[in-house]
Structure formats: C-alpha cells, structure tokens
C-alpha cells in the first residue's frame, strides 16, 4: 500500500528581521527546524523521512538567508530569537514546540529554551556555546571584502564548503549542490550582514545554559573543532536536563551528511522525553 505524501505549503511570515520564508509539511505535533548559517531549509529534506510520529514540520529560512527577506542591517542572536518568537506567533502556534536547530539554529534555540512557554524540547546540532575563535574570526575578516563585492564565489565558497562539510561529503555532488544552491539565494549584502550578525558577533552563552527549562539533546560531530564531543558533553553538564551524543563522519551540517544517524538520535530523544508525535 502506498502511503500518502504529506502536503507541503510555503508562506512568508513577518518578523522584526523581515519576512521569513517557511515550508510547512504534514500535520500533528509541531517541530520547528532552523538551519545553519549560509544555508536554508533544503538542508533538512533528507532528514525528515527518517523521523517518527505524526508531525507538522515547520522548516525555516533564517533572517537574510534562503528565500527570506534580505537582512539590511546588523543584528544579533538575541534579535534572531525575538524574530523566531514573532514567527511562532505569526503562524498562530500557541503550544510549545520541539525545536531542532543546526549551528545558527541551535544558537537561536538556546535563547528560546530559556524563555517560558515557547519550546518543549531542544535539539541543538553542531552549535558551540562559546564565541568563534580568534583564528576563525581572522579567516572570516580576510574573506569579508570579497563576499561584499563578489558574493559567495571562489575562495569564499570554498571556505564555506570546507567549514560545513567533510571532504567526503564535499565530493558528493548531491550534498555539495544543496550547499552551493543555498549560498546563491541571498544577496551579497544580506549574506554579509548575516555573517557579521550571527557568527562574528556571537556571544558566549555558557552561563545561560543553567536557565534552560526544557529537555535538550546536543549533537556534536567528530570533525568540528570548535564544538568537539567533549565540549558538547560539558555544555550538557551545565544544562538542567540534557544529554550529548556524537555523530561520526560529519562536520557542521550533520543532518545533511548523516540524516539517518541524526534522526535515530532525535527519535530516541523525543521518545525518552515523552515527546513522540501523535
């Protein structure tokens, strides 16, 4: 018997950081998926078929990224979290949601999880709680002028792919195409503002983890130097109810590189936390 294909619809929702484009798939318990910097909601597509339960998936393009409105000024993670709250209100979502965030999306999730009533669980994937290192900051500052003038081409595109994907994944044309096509959607100005706002200006939230009031799952990879498995474990130890796991053979875009393994951890977490969709 062929199962029905879940319906998908797209809409734009006004927020304080412009209209955010979302794709809504299926029905049931709401799970919101916010992707990494540089990429958009397409990075979740191979993960969704592996997730259990009847769910309404809300897939977001972050501020200034994907098909969301351009980001015309400098912002910060706190304001991105405010925009996420605007998004939930604009979609008339009144019950707490399961939040799944990759990198940038996890950073937004940390903020939301400390606000009562918005989330009921948090999955933060490849989301360091510390600011970027001086070495990465210097590398970004070298590439910023080229990004402003020419966009994500040449060495900028190569640097993003290298930061996001393992060498093996970067050689996979299907995976590489998702990243390259995502990079090509925002304007140069929007992408530059997003990079400054959500990576260069990212602050340390280590001391904020103790205020998180929902169950959390922190997923690290074995190949991201600024959020190692050990650092994810330390972050979990500072969070009231949290666990940390490691997915091998992945870098930053773990859900794109290892969707089945990520889904297995998320399914188990939702079940153990009594959050399985119904």
Residue 1 domain flag: no
Residue 76 domain flag: yes
CATH number reported for the structural domain that contains residue 86 in this entry: 3.40.50.1820
With CA atoms as reference, report the closest residue to 54 among 82, 29, 71.
29
Which residues in the chain belong to E strands, given as ranges?
Answer: 8-13, 20-26, 29-34, 55-60, 97-102, 119-125, 216-221, 242-247
Q: Which domain holds residue 99?
A: 8-272
Residue 209 domain flag: yes
Residue by residue, pLDDT tens for the chain (278 residues) are 344 456 889 999 999 999 999 999 999 999 999 999 999 999 999 999 999 878 999 999 999 999 999 999 999 999 999 999 999 999 999 999 999 999 999 999 999 999 999 999 999 999 999 999 898 999 899 999 999 998 898 999 999 999 999 999 999 999 999 999 999 999 999 999 999 999 999 999 999 999 999 999 999 999 998 899 999 999 999 999 999 999 999 999 999 999 999 999 999 999 987 644 43
Residue 154 domain flag: yes
Residue 2 domain flag: no
Residue 35 domain flag: yes
Count of structural domains within the chain: 1
Residue 96 domain flag: yes
Residue 278 domain flag: no
């Amino acid at each position: 018997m062929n199962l029905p294909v879940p319906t998908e619809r797209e809409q734009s929702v006004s927020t304080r950081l412009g209209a955010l484009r979302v794709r809504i798939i299926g029905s049931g318990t709401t799970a919101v998926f916010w992707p990494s910097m540089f990429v958009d909601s397409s990075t979740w597509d191979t993960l969704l078929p592996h997730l259990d339960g009847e769910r309404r998936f809300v897939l977001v393009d972050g501020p200034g990224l994907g098909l969301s409105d351009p980001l015309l000024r400098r912002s910060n993670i706190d304001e991105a979290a405010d925009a996420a709250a605007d998004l939930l209100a604009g979609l008339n979502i009144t019950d707490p949601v399961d939040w799944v965030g990759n990198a940038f999306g996890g950073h937004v999730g940390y903020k939301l999880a400390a606000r009562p009533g918005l989330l009921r669980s948090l999955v933060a994937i490849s989301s360091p709680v510390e600011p970027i290192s001086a070495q990465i900051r210097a590398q970004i500052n070298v590439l910023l002028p080229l990004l402003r003038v020419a966009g994500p081409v040449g060495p900028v595109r190569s640097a993003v792919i290298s930061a996001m994907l393992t060498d093996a994944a970067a050689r996979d044309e299907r995976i590489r195409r998702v990243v390259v096509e995502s990079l090509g959607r925002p304007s140069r100005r929007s992408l530059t503002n997003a990079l400054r706002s959500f990576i260069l200006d990212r602050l340390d939230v280590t001391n904020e983890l103790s205020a998180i009031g929902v169950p959390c799952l922190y997923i690290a990879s074995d190949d991201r130097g600024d959020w190692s498995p050990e650092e994810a474990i330390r972050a979990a130890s500072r969070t009231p109810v949290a666990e940390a796991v490691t997915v091998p053979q992945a870098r930053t875009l773990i859900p794109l590189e290892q969707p089945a393994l990520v889904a297995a951890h998320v399914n188990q977490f939702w079940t153990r936390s009594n959050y399985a969709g119904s």
